[in-house]
Amino acid sequence: MAARIFLTAFMILIMLANFSKAEAEKILFVPHDDRPISCQQTAEVIRQAGYEILMPPKELLGLKGADKHPDKLWRWLEKNAPSANAAVISADSLLYGGLIPSRKHEFPSKIIAARVENFKTLREKNPSLRLYVFASLMRTPYTGTKGDIEEPEYYAEHGANIHNYTALVDKSEISGLTDAERTQLKYCRDSIPSEILNNWLGRRAKNFTATKKLIDMTYDGIIDYLVVGRDDNSALSQTHMENRKLLVRAERDDLTKNKFQSLAGIDEFNLLLLTRAVNDMRGDTPKIFVGYNTGAGGGMVPFFSSEPIENSIADAAAITGSQLVDSPSRADFILLVNTDPNGATLWAHNRKPDGTKMVPNYTPNAGTKFFADMVERYVAQGYAVGVADINYCNGSDNALMKILHDENLLYKLKSYSGWNTATNSTGFALATGILAIHMDSDAKDRLLTRRYLDDWAYQANIRTIVGCQLDPVHYYQFDGERAWVESEETRLMREFAQKNLPPFDYLSGLKVSNPWNRMFECEITFSD
């Protein structure tokens, strides 16, 4: 009898321990905006992995009323932090109201500094909360486009000169300028109205000061892990210049990749840090092997980046808390990266409206068959395989996807991504694959389905087919066109799914919408 009582008590203790563990495994997530990939799709990966993820009300993550969002988000964090054991937080949302508002806000330095100090208060009130933060250095696009909501309006006219001016200033600090370059520097500077350049540089100075303070807080242990992103950056620019100075500061503080990173990209940081939070909860250090297509492979420097893709992937793996290994046999997950053999970033689809008909390119290039064979070989050997499809800028490689479809490989993968820039796609495929090795097949397949619809159907095909029927201004901001656009996208998406994907129940009534009122991204709603 005593033994039975002891056994019963022991089992109750185990159940209570497991219940406490499940209760503790709640992650707070504040993304940098409410775009589907940044917000719902990222959260979906974590939920399919079996973790509870709590997010602020969606209205606090959008562009409308963004200047009022930071204070409300801080109150939401203060309320919910005690019930969680990890938080993945966008500093851009907490300081400026989101990624795009960070590039256009008019907050005074005093208000931004006070918001930065809130991280210290959050730590003091929640000493056991694991705090993962990501921020961005403001980007420096090569040029501006009329109607683009992502930069101040003046960037459409003056963006090219602003970029070129800062690139030359950056170069002057690194290696000096030739006489011709000094002349060009003066021309660019004189071409930009002083009030515009002062506005642009002044906003950046506030951002840079705040980012330095976040680095200090990471050194002091207030922030457990900090990632600073460089979205759409180039080798010489204001963004590159600021990053050089941040790296000097981090080196001074002896911050290693176990605490801090600054790297190309931004949108993928949501999922990379959430994956790190899960790995920390599990006590896991996944081992990753990375394979590349023939040719330039990992040495490729993709468009919108300033470094070889193999460096970006190594940094992304470090963010997740994973370890790169040099042999597939030692790996828990294999990431295969589809690149152009010549090291180029291709632009054959997703062009801006030009009045012509979009025709998908299903012709394999020199590396397509090689890469597809590599995927098939690793899958056949029983490895957990994911594909990062970065042959094209924004969207899947149609020729590769046709082969994977025809060879019945689409749902034999653990993860896939080809949705946006190279670092976005590699980071998302890597993080999803790490988590998918713990998912059941239904959860994994649902995530793959969403990527195939978003990255292959929409980004590589539907977006351009529909977009080419709009004029360029309405491509960036719909004006009375949205109902027709979404109806046409939904029709084409359903046709695509019926032709290329299994008849999953949740696809029976799928719908497509464009919540940001532009063609660049879409939201895909399943019927369940």
Distance, CA of 499 to CA of 456 (rounded, Å)? 13
**pLDDT the model gives residue 146:** 83
Render pLDDT for 381-401 as a digit per residue (tens, 0 to 9): 999 999 999 999 889 999 999
Evaluate whether 489 touches 458 at the Cβ level (below 8 Å). yes
Confidence of residue 22 (pLDDT cuts 50, 70, 90): very low
**pLDDT the model gives residue 351:** 65
CATH architecture of 25-141+204-281: 3-Layer(aba) Sandwich (3.40)
Percentage with pLDDT > 90 across the chain:
78
Render pLDDT for 272-304 as a digit per residue (tens, 0 to 9): 999 999 999 999 999 999 999 999 999 998 887
**pLDDT the model gives residue 368:** 95
Render pLDDT for 79-92 as a digit per residue (tens, 0 to 9): 999 999 999 999 99
**pLDDT the model gives residue 268:** 93
Confidence of residue 353 (pLDDT cuts 50, 70, 90): confident
Q: Strand (E) positions, 169-286?
A: 225-230, 260-264
Any residues with CB less than 8 A from the CB of 253 and at least 6 apart, and which? 215, 216, 219
What pTM, to 2 d.p., does this model score? 0.91
DSSP letter string, 280-311: HHHT---EEEEEE-STTGGG---TT-SS-HHH
Domain ranges of the chain: 25-141+204-281, 288-525
Confidence of residue 12 (pLDDT cuts 50, 70, 90): very low
Q: What is the DSSP letter of 39?
A: T
**pLDDT the model gives residue 389:** 97
Asked if pLDDT for residue 17 goes beyond 50, the answer is no
Average pLDDT over residues 220-248: 90
Asked if pLDDT for residue 355 goes beyond 80, the answer is no
Asked if pLDDT for residue 232 goes beyond 90, the answer is no
Bridge partner residues of 292 (DSSP)? 337
**pLDDT the model gives residue 291:** 98
Asked if pLDDT for residue 328 goes beyond 50, the answer is yes
